[in-house]
Amino acid sequence: MTVLLRCAVIGVITLAVSGCVTRDNTATLAVSLPDRWSNGPTGSPSRIPAHHATWWRGFRDPEIDRLVLAALAANPSLEQARERVVAARALARAQGAQRLPIIDGSAGATVQSRLAGPADGLNAAGEDAGEGSRRTIGTFQAGFDARWELDFFGRVRSTVLAAEYAALAASEEMQDARFTLVAEVVRTYLELRGAQARRSVIVREIAARRGLLDLVRVQQTAGSSGEFDVQRARSTYEAARAREPAAGLAIRVALQRLATLVGTARPNERLLSRSRGVGNIASMLGPVPASILRWRADIRRAELIVAQRAAESDVAYAELFPRFALAGTIDLAGNLIGRPLPGTLLTFTGGPGVSVPLLDWGLRVHVLRAREAQWREAIAAYRGSVLRAVEDVEIALATIRASRSRLDRQRTAVGAAGRALELADRQYRGGLVGLTERLQAETDLRQAELDLADATESSGVAAVALFKAFGTPPGLGGLPAAPVQVAIRPTAPAGSTP
């Protein structure tokens, strides 16, 4: 009774000391979102448009659809993300097994052979060995060990929660990788088409410069132009030819990049067989509520990391308290050869147990402080993710508005430059203007066409950046229809209030 009383006193003292450790759970996830976008449409959005889940179809290009499906099926980086999810879920299930009793089995056998010595029935210790004349004896032993931790202070529960949140975070990371992959495929495809458009302009410029060179040579033969005009026309022709390799290189780079994204080593040359422009996605852009940011995979992952860190903090806090467990053992022992044992023995041992932290020189407390600091860090990271998401959307909205304006004005510039070239060509052939004016008109048109190709590509890339900034809305694209409810604050285990 005296021993039990002492143990009870030690346990009470331990609980009192552990429970009086203060905890910091004052941090908050609150981040204010704008009522409407500063650089977006001025309408009043009420819901998230359904087409945002498959925004790339707004380009109305079946080649984009095929590339996206191929990348989602075979991209190596996405496969890595999937396997990380599988591993995280398996580890979460493994942690969940701690809630149940753990049972282990063991078995063994021992054979002893007397090589020399008296055979008078005594063993080496001078005891009666039973069958003294037998030179070899053997025994076997088998049994089961069982242990079940009683989770009075939530250590096991919090450990399992941390693993489950880690698995959910890995799943959100995969969704983020999936969405980023789609955006990268579409962006690279637009860069390919942009490079093809620029090369087409350069090819037309080469042909026009060649035709002008031939014309100047004919005029030189007729005596109306000199060698200076011929060399100048030749210079512009060779300069145009010098720009073609760079344009071709940009096409090959984009083509190889697409091959890598879809998980193949050889680029698809069929993509070069058509180089028409892509459709305008601007018609799909409209008022979108700021709440769409709640469904960005990186924000959901950041929130889950906060919950994971809170659960890990709870684990560290529970480590300050005693651990209670039920343990039991069943052993079976018997004879294999001879009879060294008096028959077959079956024994059972079991009962409750407790492990009390007495003196660790502050180890557990410092671990708790570290976990709480990691929790506050995760909250700061979450708030930073939300603010960066708002920044991404605002910048993308401003960029797409500027790119639209540039595209419209550049189309007007190309039309005006084309008409100027027609006038300059007629006047040059009629002798009203010189070669300098004719070359300048040609240069202005080709530069305007190159700028138009850049503006068209930039407009498409800006749309990709905007949808990437929005993320995938709820219930669409295979994502959850509702947010995961997580506990973002550390909680004190039951019965631990000082």
Give residue-wise pLDDT tens across range 28-81. Answer: 777 777 777 777 765 555 566 666 777 888 888 888 889 999 998 889 988 898
| Whether pLDDT at 126 is above 50 | no
What is the average pLDDT across 363-391? 91
- Report pLDDT for 219: 77
- Report pLDDT for 260: 92
**Contact (CB, 8 A) for 376 and 313:** no
- Report pLDDT for 228: 84
Tell me which H or E stretch contains 328. strand 323-337
| Whether pLDDT at 257 is above 90 | yes
Please state, rounded to an integer, the average pLDDT across all residues of the chain. 80
| Whether pLDDT at 292 is above 80 | no
| Whether pLDDT at 85 is above 80 | yes
Tell me which H or E stretch contains 324. strand 323-337
* 479 confidence band (pLDDT: 50, 70, 90): very low
What is the average pLDDT across 213-238? 82
H helix intervals, 46-154: 62-74, 76-96
Provide the edge-to-edge strand list for the sheet that holds 323-337: 102-113, 136-150, 323-337, 345-355
| Whether pLDDT at 278 is above 50 | yes
In angstroms, the CA 201 to CA 325 distance is: 79
- Report pLDDT for 18: 46
| Whether pLDDT at 27 is above 70 | no
**Contact (CB, 8 A) for 421 and 444:** yes
In angstroms, the CA 341 to CA 347 distance is: 14
**Contact (CB, 8 A) for 131 and 339:** yes
Helix (H, G, I), strand (E, B) or coil at 290: helix
* 3 confidence band (pLDDT: 50, 70, 90): very low
- Report pLDDT for 311: 92
- Relative orientation angle of helices 227-261 and 62-74, to the nearest 10 degrees: 50
Report the amino acid identity of residue 94. Answer: A
* DSSP secondary structure string for all residues of 432-469: SS-HHHHHHHHHHHHHHHHHHHHHHHHHHHHHHHHHHH
pLDDT tens digits for 431-469? 888 877 888 888 888 889 889 888 888 888 888 888 888
- Report pLDDT for 43: 53
Q: Give the number of C-alpha atoms closer than 13 A to the C-alpha of residue 41, restricted to the C-beta side.
A: 11
- Report pLDDT for 442: 84
pLDDT tens digits for 158-180? 999 999 999 999 988 888 888 88
| Whether pLDDT at 477 is above 50 | no
pLDDT tens digits for 131-160? 445 567 888 889 899 998 888 988 899 999
* Number of C-beta neighbours around residue 400 at 10 A: 24
Selection from 151, 240, 237, 162 nearest residue 200 by Cα: 240
What is the average pLDDT across 233-261? 89
- Report pLDDT for 120: 52
- Mean pLDDT is lowest, of 109-113, 126-130, 415-419, for 126-130
**What is the DSSP code (8-state) at residue 210?**
H
